Amino acid sequence: MRFRSFHIAALVIAITVVSYAASDVRPPASKDSVRFAVIGDSGTGDRAEYEVARQLSDSAQVFPFEFVIMLGDNIYGSERPQDFQKKFELPYKTLLDLNIPFYAALGNHDDPNQRYYKPFNMGGQRFYSFQRTDTRFFVLDSNYMDKDQQAWLEKELSNSTSKWKIAYFHHPLYSSGATHGSEVDLRTIVEPLFIKYGVSVVFAGHEHFYERIKPQKGIAYFTSGGAAKLRDGDLQNTGLTAKGFDTEQSFMLVELDGDVMHFQTLSRRGARVDAGDVHRVIREGTQ
């Protein structure tokens, strides 16, 4: 794949960590912000998924998010109609009844035919993008990063003039997990595009814990793969971790407010495990 050389405004990401009471969900900072929730590895249909879903629904009363992004492994095991009901429609019924849309990425445990399941809003595509005000989301299929998807991604990124460019998919480019770890081959393919075209934030799942990676090459990376599954004690000391949590399931709430992204991460029992701000700062330069 050939990369065209041209001048862009390089992004410098700075993350500020702030502390809140463990029982509090911070309300939105602005009424005009883009607000969404993040869940990954959610589709088990077991008690933990339902408890996380309940916390997510309760959080929406304080932090009214507009949509939910799903980071893959949306339905584990069999995918009969009753399985979609048990593993998605029932746990998230409160949010679905409020017409809050979910936008799914495919995980390694997902049948690619999930892209035709209307509540996942994939439009029949393995990879797709969607817009919310000044933010463009790029949803990738990290199971199979073929040439067609790479070409599509470069075209979509290069055509986007959005202030925020956010990518999400299943396999993390950087990870401190003992079970899987960083997807270096995938990183070699997509990270140059993220850097070249100014992607600010990347979300991934796959690892069954929460990890905020120290900013890499001007990009903020988050792993949030514990919305139902949990791999207790799997986080290793790799030097990549800014904050990690692997003792309970979790999910994220995110707000894009001008040039700042506010994030907060909550556990299955509603305890705060991380929170902070990603500051999007423009520095003129050449890539």
Instruction: Quote the pLDDT of residue 143.
Output: 97
In whole angstroms, give the CA distance from residue 101 to residue 43.
16
Condensed to tens digits (0 to 9), the pLDDT of residues 70-124 reads 999 999 999 999 999 999 999 999 999 999 999 999 999 999 999 999 999 999 9
Band (280; pLDDT cuts 50, 70, 90): confident
Let me know if residue 246 belongs to a domain.
yes
Let me know if residue 102 belongs to a domain.
yes
Instruction: Quote the pLDDT of residue 24.
Output: 77
Strands laid side by side in the 210-213 sheet: 128-132, 135-139, 164-168, 201-204, 220-224, 210-213, 241-245
pLDDT over 90 for what percent of the chain?
A: 87
Let me know if residue 2 belongs to a domain.
no
Say whether pLDDT at 283 is over 80. Answer: no
The CATH number of the domain holding residue 101 is 3.60.21.10
What would the mean pLDDT of 265-277 be, rounded to a whole number? 93
| Number of domains forming the structure of the chain | 1
Let me know if residue 113 belongs to a domain.
yes
What would the mean pLDDT of 178-200 be, rounded to a whole number? 96
What would the mean pLDDT of 154-181 be, rounded to a whole number? 96
Instruction: Quote the pLDDT of residue 1.
Output: 40
Instruction: Quote the pLDDT of residue 281.
Output: 63
Instruction: Quote the pLDDT of residue 200.
Output: 95
What would the mean pLDDT of 38-63 be, rounded to a whole number? 96
Structural domain of 177: 7-286
In whole angstroms, give the CA distance from residue 25 to residue 23.
7
Let me know if residue 71 belongs to a domain.
yes
The encoded tokens of residue 202 equal: 């990347």
Query: Using alpha carbons only, what angle is made at residue 12 by residues 8 and 14, rounded to the nearest 5 degrees?
Result: 160
Instruction: Quote the pLDDT of residue 17.
Output: 62
Say whether pLDDT at 272 is over 70. Answer: yes
Let me know if residue 1 belongs to a domain.
no
